[in-house]
Structure formats: structure tokens, C-alpha cells
Amino acid sequence: MQEPLVSFEGVAKRFGSYTAVQKMDLQIHKGEFLAIMGSSGCGKTTTLRMLAGLEAPSEGVIRLAGQAINDLPSWSRDTPMVWQSLALFPFLSVIENVEFALKMRGVGRAERRRRAGQWLERMQIAEFAGRNIAQLSGGQRQRVALARSLVVEPQILLLDEPLSALDAALKVRMQSVLKTLQRETGITFVYVTHSQSEAFSMADRVVIMSRGKIEQIGTPQEIYRRPRTRFVADFLGSSNIFTGQVKRDADGRPVIATRNGDFALPGGAAVPPGQAASLTVLDTRMQIHPDAAPPAANTVEARMIGEEFVGATATIYFETGDGQEIRIQKSHEELADLPLAVGRAFHLSWAPDDGHLVPE
């Protein structure tokens, strides 16, 4: 098996009595796009800063290409970072900003000008080479920051919420630029974000953190479809969650008893009777019935309380008799023939195998 490019081995970080990162074991592979995400204060940026050499681990070892780098200063690590603020030099021109890291490495003027020019061409901003940074748009400055970091051709590039200041349309375009760059160069990208759409659209693997610990690591598809913990399911916000206790029904089949009824479990759910658990159902997998639901499906009755339209899809909100909110996302075509009306009661259903059981 190929040795990982980066290894965190029992790494923790404390600031006085506060533990920002609990003992962590994490491997990052050569050539992958890894996203680390979580809410504010979860430890994702501290993890990135330890890899960059801007924070020292309180315990454990960080290895880069097999070498322990705990005591290696940041400027010797070959781990450039693209900051949220971009940190471009306002007193230098665009091409001088891109040349800067090469100049610090002693590269001659003609060679660094040539390499900087190549990256400006690649980032489609060569026409702005002589401009002042203040004369550029947000997206153009973003490309300058990327070119400045990539011109040294590092093994790994660290990105700390680099798209957070951009508008929605520009974010989508820059996501495409970043993914294309990573794929073409083969450079390992480690990308910190709180945005699910950014992480899931670009990353090969996603790390979800909470309170300084890793909750789940996997491909975007794995995490989206099969959250490992209740926190992950809540954080993603794409599932309806029914909490209860696993038991067996009158026919001996495993079900989960919830305040909204007993629901059949997906095949292969290995949770013993008596175990507290949560059943998660993606909002795209639930069906809406104005009349009775199919007999083989799990069913809950709820009244419609609202709707939200976003592009080609709509999210319909329901509330059960005991106050649990349920949301269902469908295309406009799927909803066209339904008599949707706020206050009307519906039966909502899903196939047992469309659920996913998460032990508490």
C-alpha cells in the first residue's frame, strides 16, 4: 500500500486548558483533494495551521512524506497556504506578487518572471500582470493568490476558506477552477471550509469535525448517504431524523419505535433490541401522498406548513402531530399533480431500505 503523503499520529492541540483538537489520527494521500469541514470552533483551521507549521502540536507526530515535521519551521515545509483574506501584497504588482515566493527561494529574475508569467496565463489573468492588486476584482485576486502558491510547484497546497468572501455565482466558478487545477497538477489539496456545497462538489474525501474530534471520514457520497453519527446527520441537514429504540415487532422483525410510530429498518441494520438509535431518511427519498400510502412503506402523517423554491427543485415542509418538522425535496415536475396547500394533511412514506440506522 502506498505510504500517505501526510500522517497525523495521535496529534492533539491545547491552548491552556482548552483542547482545540483532540487526539487525531488522519492520513492524507498523494494527489487527493481532501476537504475538512465543520462548524466554527470545531478544530478544522487549527488542524490546517499545525500542518502548515503555524501551530505546534501539544502531543503526537505530524509526518510529511514520511518525515516528522513537528519541529520544522513553516518556511521549510513546502506547504504554502491560500488564506481566507488572500494576504496579497498591495505594494506589489500582480506578477510581483506571484514571483515573491520564487524570489525568497533565490530564483533568478528572468526565470521567476518566466514561471510567474506561465501561471498568470494558466489562471487566465496574464493581461493584468502589471496592475496593482487594488485594481482587481475579488475573483481575479483569488486567482493571483492561487498562482502565487502554485508557482513553487509544492507537494501539497493548504486552503483556508478561500472562497468565503466571494458572491455565490463566483464561488461556483472558482470551485470549478480549483478542482480542474488540482486534477491537472496532481498536487494534494487540503481545503478547510464550513460549506457543504464546496466540500462535496470538489473533494475526493471529506473529514467532518466537531468539538476537536473527527466524526467521519469518507467520500461525499458515503457521508451524504450513510452518516456515521447523529451529529453528522444533523450537520449535513439533508436527512429527516426519527429517534427511538430498536425492538422487534409481532413478527420478530427489527423496527425502531419512535414518537411518530414504529418504522421498519433497512436490510442489514445490525443494532440489537433495546439500543437507542436514530433512523435517517434523505429528504429526496420520501414520497408525498394526499391519500393512503403504499402498505409496504414506512408512513407518517403530517400537515403541510410551508414551501421553498430553489431553482429546479422545491422543498416542502411538514409537521407531525407532536411537532416534528419533516422536509421533502422534489422537482417541480414531481410536485405538479399534488394538491399542495398549507394546512392540508398528507401521508409521507419511504421504503425501509431508503433509511439508514445510526446507533446513539
- What confidence category does residue 291 fall into, taking pLDDT thresholds of 50, 70 and 90? confident
Cell of 33: 483533494
Integer Cα distance of 161 and 166 in angstroms: 11
- 1, pLDDT greater than 70: no
For 216-258, the DSSP string reads EEE-HHHHHHS-SSHHHHHHH--EEEEEEEEEE-TTS-EEEEE
Percent of the chain's residues with pLDDT above 70: 100
Given the DSSP bridges, would you call strands 33-37 and 205-210 parallel, antiparallel or unpaired? parallel
Mean pLDDT confidence for 95-123: 91
Has residue 207 got a pLDDT over 80?
Answer: yes
Residue 25 has a pLDDT of 97
**pTM for the whole structure:** 0.88
Question: pLDDT by residue (tens digit) across 118-143?
Answer: 999 998 899 999 999 989 888 888 88
Which pLDDT belongs to residue 326?
Answer: 97
Q: Which of 15, 21, 87 is nearest to 48 (CA)?
A: 21
- Coil/strand/helix, residue 267: coil
For residue range 155-201, what is the model confidence (pLDDT) as tens digits? 999 999 888 877 888 888 889 989 999 999 999 999 999 889 899 99
136 membership: H or E segment, kind and range:
none
Phi then psi for residue 327, to 5 deg, are -120, 145
More confident residue, 87 or 15: 15
Q: Which residues of the chain form beta strands (DSSP E)?
A: 6-15, 18-28, 33-37, 59-64, 67-68, 81-82, 156-160, 188-193, 205-210, 213-218, 239-248, 254-258, 261-264, 276-282, 287-289, 298-310, 313-320, 325-331, 345-350, 355-359
Q: From 2.40.50.100, 3.40.630.30, 2.140.10.10, 3.30.70.980, which CATH number describes the 239-359 domain?
A: 2.40.50.100
Q: What value does the mean pLDDT take over residues 196-221?
A: 95
pLDDT at residue 162 in the model: 86
* pLDDT in the model for residue 220: 96
pLDDT at 168: 81
Q: How many residues does the chain have?
A: 360
CATH topology of domain 6-225: Rossmann fold (3.40.50)
Closest C-alpha among 258, 264, 336 to residue 293: 264
Three-class SS of residue 2? coil
Q: Where are the domains of the chain?
A: 6-225, 239-359
Average pLDDT, the chain: 92
The mean per-residue pLDDT over the stretch 247-254 comes to: 85
pLDDT value at residue 84: 79
Residue 268 has pLDDT above 80, yes or no: no
Check for a shared fold between 6-225 and 239-359. no
Q: φ and ψ at 282, to 5 degrees?
A: -60, 140
